[in-house]
Amino acid sequence: MARDTVETHFTQAVATLKAGVPRDPARPVRDGTTLTGEQCLRLYRRQLDSRLLDIAARWLREQDEGFYTIGSAGHEGNAAVAAALRPQDPALLHYRSGAFYLTRSEQAGRLPEQGIRDVLMGLTASAEEPIAGGRHKVFGHPDLAIIPQTSTIASHLPRAVGVAFAIERAHALEATSAWPHDAITVCSFGDASLNHASALSGFNTAAYATYQGQSLPILFVCEDNGIGISVRTPKGWVEAAARRPGIEYFAADGCDLADAYDAARRAAEYVRTHRSPAFLHLSTVRLMGHAGSDVESAYRTQREIKSDLERDPLVTTARLLVEAGLLTAEQLLKDYESAREHILRIALETTRSPRLESAEEVMATIAPRRADMIAKISPVAAETSVREKAFNGTLPETEKPLTLSQAINRTLADALAVYPEMMVFGEDVAKKGGVYGVTRGLQKRFGPGRVFDTLLDEQAVLGLALGAGVSQMLPVPEIQYLAYLHNALDQIRGEAATLSFFSQGSYRNPLVVRVAGYAYQKGFGGHFHNDNAIGALRDIPGLVIASPSRPDDAAAMLRTCLAAARTEGSVCVYLEPIALYHTRDLFDEGDGGWLSAYAPPSRWAETHVPIGRARSYGDGRDLTIVTYGNGLRMSLRAAVRLTQEGFSCRVLDLRWLAPLPVEDLLRAAELTGKVLIADETRHTGSISEALIAALVDAGFTGQVARVTSSDSFIPLGDAANLVLLSEEEIEEAARKLLV
């Protein structure tokens, strides 16, 4: 449906409107509704501005000055949702939420033109646009409690549930929060998005919480226009999918502003009073197609297109105003032309504003992970008396040397003692203490408000974390196994990693995701418990990936990740090698070579491990073995045997897989001139590929070889050894380089 068709219909329909008996503007605009004439007039103007912004978007595209044409035409009823809420209520919005955004902007005391300029600068990719700075057209603003979203597939719903969860949890813990304690979260989306797994995860998590008697103040708003691009939504499907235990259902005609406002008020009041979730189903239409390039006539009949046009919400609101005697048809048409001219003039002005001009400018808003910045972060400890209470009188530095699992446990406890906003959660982490006992005892010491079990859904776990992070808390979620992370990876890729990028750092989601991973478990195998695929993580911009092997590094690196998340908003994935959790020995049984003493706080600065710094073992000059994870223990054992044969080797533990410690790699490579990469992950998509590329890029002229695991899933039992990297393979490859 072309914009001229929509504009022509509006002018023709308004011209035929007949004035009714004048009403007092302070009274309801229509009998049986609570929307006053004054409110109706104000909301109409924001609806009109939203419609004209869609017109401007199409005009800008024709001039090759605009870059986004998915509009809000037909969805202008969402202005009523904004009006029913408070401007401090956090909002995660559908991409057709133009009228909501403009209404919220005015609610916050801004001039209408400011909201208009925000949107237009987004359309023209202006570097001066206040939220994304020209990186994407999003609805968001730090002063409006609107968290920017780029999702078209409802991936923001798990985070929205997390925001609602964080409102209640922060209040219960008396922790600092980004939101008022009586705020509610609003999350809007389309009818097609309703079917995505992430949406279902959001609904299920909300219902699950309510079923258990937990407070979760979230208002889900489905703007149902009956079609997703060209695929029709079956009639009745949204209501059928929305009605579930624990979520109150409300419905209204989203094209009728008065009806939408009444329903939105009831729904918002229910959520605010009961602190429980509600689903607001707004029936809308989609005008002007999905986007500027969309030819609706290819998949819709003229009758269907006309039917939507006759429900135009802008015409419906205009009719309310005329019938209430608040405006005449002539005034409405005059206002339309005046506002149209004004917005197109502003649109032209925004085309002259500066745009991003370099890769450095574009990437400047990716979550900070620069070594010079992170190196300045100093982990802090609680007062001694607080630590003694947290550790039941036995400080970890007075214990015997610890295993990897124990070191992580003690570090988490130290962090929980000093960061009151920190929470540790996931599947089985509370009473059981995790499958491998890593979090054992933490809930008993710090309480179920800070250490707790979640439902078994990785999208829900990460969504809770993302919502908590953006609410100024410090979430440390656990993903039980690396293989399970892939079920929910878009929560890190599309939600966590992009937030700082698309908000210029105005919104951040500090995050340390603990993941039990890698292979080599004995007596407990199989693909889902022995996954060594990490390639999908490594191409996420800004993501920090920590991979500790030894207990002392595990403690120091976890402190670094927590500090980087808390102070810089970094998104960190902390990979824990399952097979090394309880390892005690390095060479011989009983040697205790894989245990480490816990450093007291007085030595934390001295033992600090900056992001992107490797660790070297030995001073050999014949060969450098580069490795990480389980590969470190295997490589150290292999290096000793090679030394006994007269070869001089050094081992470099990468420790960080993103950003890679390239400087340390090059230094170690140049010292020997020969490099063997021992990579326990798969041959394809492995760290070894990136390491070889880094050496080549830097002009390294020495010899390089690699050994990896096979491109295979990991089977049960001893068959796993057939596809996993072994010590023998490391030794054999080393000898080939050394002879």
Phi, psi of 702 (to 5 degrees): -80, -170
Q: What is the CA radius of gyration of the chain?
A: 29
Residue with tokens 């039990």: 516
Torsion of CA 487, 493, 499, 504, to 10 degrees: 180
Alpha carbon 12 to its chain centroid, in Å, reads 45
CA pair distance 668, 662, nearest whole angstrom: 10
Find, among 49, 183, 159, the residue nearest to 93 by Cα.
159
- The full 3-state SS of 583-601, as one line of letters, equals CCCCCCCCCCCCCECCCCH
β-strand 227-228 against 231-232: which pairing, if any?
Answer: antiparallel
C-beta of residue 607 within 8 angstroms of C-beta of residue 381: no
- The full 3-state SS of 269-311, as one line of letters, equals HHHHHHCCCEEEEEECCCCCCCCCCCCHHHCCCHHHHHHHHCC
Structure tokens at 188: 């809007």
Which residue in 75, 529, 608, 683 is the catalytic one? Answer: 529
CA pair distance 473, 295, nearest whole angstrom: 46
* Distant-in-sequence, close-in-space partners of 396: CB < 8 Å, separation ≥ 6: 402, 410, 413, 414, 598
Alpha carbon 76 to its chain centroid, in Å, reads 27
Burial readout 618-637 (b: 16 or more C-beta within 10 A, e: otherwise): bebebbbbbbbbbbbbbbbb
Q: What is the DSSP letter of 95?
A: T
C-beta of residue 456 within 8 angstroms of C-beta of residue 164: no
Phi, psi of 2 (to 5 degrees): -70, 155
C-beta of residue 539 within 8 angstroms of C-beta of residue 600: no
C-beta of residue 589 within 8 angstroms of C-beta of residue 539: no
C-beta of residue 43 within 8 angstroms of C-beta of residue 103: yes
Cα 407 to Cα 38, 47, 413, 572, distances in angstroms: 63, 57, 10, 18
* Distant-in-sequence, close-in-space partners of 718: CB < 8 Å, separation ≥ 6: none
Torsion of CA 409, 410, 411, 413, to 10 degrees: 90
C-beta of residue 587 within 8 angstroms of C-beta of residue 637: yes
Query: Residue 680: which H helix or E strand, with range?
Result: strand 674-682
Please work out, in degrees rounded to the nearest 5, the angle formed at the alpha carbon of residue 219 by the alpha carbons of 215 and 221: 155
Cα 432 to Cα 169, 415, 452, distances in angstroms: 22, 20, 10
Please work out, in degrees rounded to the nearest 5, the angle formed at the alpha carbon of residue 277 by the alpha carbons of 30 and 255: 30
529 catalytic per annotation: yes
Structure tokens at 241: 């999918």
Structure tokens at 214: 């937990």
CA pair distance 518, 428, nearest whole angstrom: 19
Q: Which residues are catalytic?
A: 529
